[in-house]
Amino acid sequence: MKLFVGTGGVVATALLLASVCGIAQAYSAPDNWRFDTGSDGRVTASLHATNKLITGGGALSYSPVLTIACRANGEPRWSEWLRLNDAVSASRTITVSVTVDKASKVNESWSVGTRGRTLVRDGADGIRRLVSADRLLLSWRFGLLSGRGEADFDLGGLSEAVGQIAGACNTELP
């Protein structure tokens, strides 16, 4: 079987492969992000932490999950949340220490979600600070006597993920 016919065939094949690879690359989602669209119009991209936390019983470990979300029709338009397997003891808000790249730590107030296993921060400003970042470190207290939790995220592909979410939500980038 002959694969190429003369120099013209080689050039044509190379151009075809380059254009196909270029198209695939332009529309490919970052591998480390998982995308979802909810029935309520919310579009999300989720990323597992690079580190593990030990559950309260100590038998299992898990990686916290950071989710970036956009709501197509509604407010807040943009939000981020951290999903945990162990609940925090706070009922309304919790202080989360945020370190983006190697900048100084900033304390923020995050809402405590369902059963204390989700920490939520609404607003485009939280997403905006991450778009050009490489790493995100979140730290919080599980409770008065329960110790601290920490989640470290490699944000590779975040700007592409946010762009894909914004396009699906038909909204501007944060």
Q: How many domains does the chain have?
A: 2
Q: Which pLDDT score is estimated for 143?
A: 83
Rounded average pLDDT over 72-91: 88
0.75 exceeded by pTM: yes
Residue 13 has pLDDT above 70, yes or no: no
Contact 112, 84 (CB under 8 A): no
13: domain range? 1-30
Q: Which pLDDT score is estimated for 56?
A: 67
Between 3 and 112, name the one with better pLDDT.
Answer: 112
The reply to whether 102 and 164 lie within a common domain is yes
pLDDT in tens, 111-160: 999 889 999 999 999 999 999 999 999 999 988 777 889 999 999 999 99
The reply to whether 142 and 126 lie within a common domain is yes
